[in-house]
Structure formats: structure tokens, C-alpha cells
Amino acid sequence: MRSRFSSRLICMLVVMCSAGTLVAEENAKPNIIAILVDDIGVGDFGFSGGTDFPTPNIDALAKSGCIFTNGYALPSCSPTRAALMTGRYPARFGIEDNRPLDGPKGGMDVNEVTLPTKLHEAGYETRLIGKWHLGKGDHFEFAPRNRGFDEFYGYFGAAGRYVDPKLSRNGTEKIRKGYITDLLTDEVCHFLKQKHDKPFFIHLAHMAAHLPQVAKPEDLARVPNLTGKRKTAAAIITNLDDNIGRLMATLKETGLDQNTLVFFISDNGAEPPVLGTSNGPHRGMKFDVLEGGIRVPFVASWPGHIPAGSTYEPMVHVMDAYSTSLVAAGVKVPANVDGVDLMPYVAGSNKSPVHPQLCWIYNDHKEWRIPGRDTNLARPLRSIREGDWKLVMEGDNAPELYSVSSDPGESKNVANENAGVVERLKEDYSDWKAKMKPQVIGDDHPLYGRFKFMKPKK
């Protein structure tokens, strides 16, 4: 009798311990916050080389994890957001630039499986706070809550408004009093302070420092050494820095900081003459495939998993955040994904390059801004990087080859001295491009379709 009771007790304890282990494993899944800022370059933050105004809170976030010194995105908003959401080159599903997404009917291909969808299926609570720019209207199939997000608080298009913005909360749009960077951070902090029965994924997509720029007077006063557009940009980024500090402080106060994976990335390079933002040593800007258009501030922080104060030199891409997040959450990464789990590389267990090659294609905005030019035949911008080599191909111009590590400003074209490298990279690029889906802009597109019927200027 005693033996039978002991056996039952042991069985009960085994079941209870097993259940406890399952609960512990479920609770061990990290929370994930993917912060995307807008049109800010490597010359705008201290951790990535900026020097003309301080960004102490963002620098502290960077120092708490790994700084990716060769972090890449796409040349403009929508393609980068599509890459983050799908873990794939957006050109695979017909997104090369913003134009298809800027119309009232356009949106990201509904067959693409998004990061919030995969995490939601794995038991995560999912929220988008801020900019979407992958399809309009909460009642359309392209809208955030139809792409894996449980909740949405933000705006749909390329740009919102800094002061008293019109923000949608799950389809209900209204004016929200305040400054947009503060309001979006308020929303995140309010959520973090709630009780959480599930792990969560938050995509925080700030407007800073996109047009139309408006800075707070008190923030302008904090950068007295600067003038003009640079002063406005610095004030907007200073406010952003305050808010990132507030977010990180809330994570710490709530005890969530130790099990939260945080990404901090810009959606493309800066646009100095328009926005006053800075690409540091890099030539080109937003809308380019030169380094200034695609090299971006890029950080990942996860206490206990990513070594604090670390840097990683080989090139990484925004689409890697997709795979890294899924693996961290214990979710199988789809086979068709281009992004890579960064954790083995950061930890040093994988010494090979994350990406042996990366490719870009983009249509030149300077062409379609000129009335009379055919927007669908705009001069394409193409590039491929392999190790230190970067091949740039603009329209019918002769290809240009740069050694990026020794020439970050892409100032010395060494194509003539390295003809074999040029031809090999051209072939590799052609092989990659053949796997992509051409971008299509409909004749009825309200902004760009009309240009298709104009005759080019002579």
C-alpha cells in the first residue's frame, strides 16, 4: 500500500514538474521590440559616428548590445518595411520603391507571411505603433490588423504630422493632441506597464525625422550650435533620444528588460539637403543605392544573450531581424526567407559571413520627378556587395566598383583595374535579378500612372 502511494505521488510530482517546465519554457520566450526610425543616417547618432549633438539614450541602448557597423536597409520606406515584415528581399514580390504603396489601392502581397503573423501563431501578443506604409485603410486586406497585428495605433502612409497628428486606433482615426514621438512612446510605455500573460512583439515605427519636419521650440533650444535644416533635424532626433530613454527606463522599471530583444534600425539613409540628417562619411542619400542610401544605424540588444558593448563588422540586413526574432521565439523560419538568424554570428559560434552577397534594385526618383519622363522606364539603380567589393550600376552608365572598407565614401572607382571582379559581380547580380518579380505601377495610379502616357522630353 505504501509502495503504491509512493508511486502515485512520484507520478504526480513528475506531471507537475513537467507542467511547470512547460510554463517556464513558455515564459522564457523573449519579448521583442523592433524600433524603426525614419530617414536618419549614421551621422546622426553618437554610437554610429555622429558628433555635432548628443544622443545619450540611444547610445546607451547601442552599448547594451551589439552595434552592426555594416548594417543595411533598402533605399526608401516601403521596401525596408516589407523586408522587416517578411524577412525577404521585397523585390521578390514586386516592391522596388515606394510608388506602388503610395496609391490608395496598393499594398504588400497578401501571400507574404509576416513576422507578426508567425509570432501571433506562436502565442505572442502583437502591436504596431507608428508608421505602416504597406497598405491603406484598416478595412482593406493590406492593413496592419489583417497582416498579423492584434492592435494598431498609428498612420498608414509615408508621412504623418508631428503636432496633433491624426492617428488610427484599430480603424478609428482622430486628432491626438501632442507631439507624435511623445504620443507613440506614451502608447508603448502604457502597454509595457500592463500585466502580460503572453510574450509580446511591438513594432515601434517612429516618424522622426521624416518630412514635414516640425521640432519643439524647447528641443531647438538644446542644439544652439546648429542652424537651418540641421538644427531642425537635431532637435527632432534629440526628442527621439529622450523618448527612447523613456521606453528603456520603462522596460527596466517593469522588469521586462532582461527578457526583451530590442532592435533599433533606420529605414534608409539620411537625406541631408532636404531633411538635414547626416550619412557621415558616406556618399549618396535616401533613394540611392550608394552607401548613403542604404547603410544605416543598426543595433540589437538582449541582455544575457547578446554581449554588451560588442560590435559586428560583416554586413547584415534589416530582413535578418525577421529570422532572428523567430528563432529567439522558438519558431521555425520559413524556407523561402532571405534573412538570417544573427545570434550565432554575434555569439561568435559561426565565423562565416552572414551574407556572402547582398543586392539592391531601385528606380531613380530624380527621373520620375521630371514631368514628361516615363516613370516605369526610369533609370534603374542597381548594386551588389560582396565582402569589401561594391558594384554600382546606374542606368546605362558604365559600372562602378568600390572597395567599401577602405573607401567608405565611394570616391575612387576601381572598375578599370578590376575588370574580372566587375564581370563576375555583374553575372551574380543578373542571376539574383532573374529571381525577382518586376515592379508594376498601374495605369490608374493617381500619382504616377499618368506619366506613362507622356512623351519623353527631347
Residues belonging to the active site:
77, 133
C-alpha cell at 390: 561594391
C-alpha cell at 35: 524600433
List % helix, strand, coil for the chain (3-state, nearest 5).
35, 20, 45
**What are the distances in angstroms from CA 148 to CA 86, 122, 215, 295?**
11, 12, 33, 28
Strand order in the sheet with 358-363: 358-363, 380-386, 389-394, 400-403
The end-to-end CA distance of the chain, in Å, is: 102
Strand order in the sheet with 151-155: 172-175, 166-169, 151-155, 125-131, 200-205, 31-37, 260-266, 298-301, 66-68, 310-312
Using DSSP's 3-state secondary structure scheme, residue 341 falls into coil
Distance, in Å, from the CA atom of 46 to the CA atom of 61, rounded to the nearest integer, reads 11
Distance, in Å, from the CA atom of 238 to the CA atom of 208, rounded to the nearest integer, reads 10
- Label residue 234 exposed, middle or buried (CB < 10 Å: 0-12, 13-18, 19+): buried
Ramachandran quadrant class, 309 (left: phi over 0; alpha: psi -120 to 50; beta: rest): left
In the numeric block, the cell 536597409 is attached to 73
Asked if residue 421 lies in contact with residue 389, where contact means CB atoms within 8 angstroms, the answer is yes
Sort strands 200-205 and 400-403 into parallel, antiparallel or unpaired.
unpaired
Cβ atoms within 10 Å of 391's Cβ, excluding its own:
24
Rounded to 10 degrees, the C-alpha dihedral 389/390/395/396 comes to -20
Query: Could you tell me which of 275, 288, 325, 303 has the C-alpha nearest to residue 84?
Result: 325
In the numeric block, the cell 500500500 is attached to 1
Strand segments, DSSP code E, in 351-396 are 358-363, 380-386, 389-394
Asked if residue 293 lies in contact with residue 286, where contact means CB atoms within 8 angstroms, the answer is yes
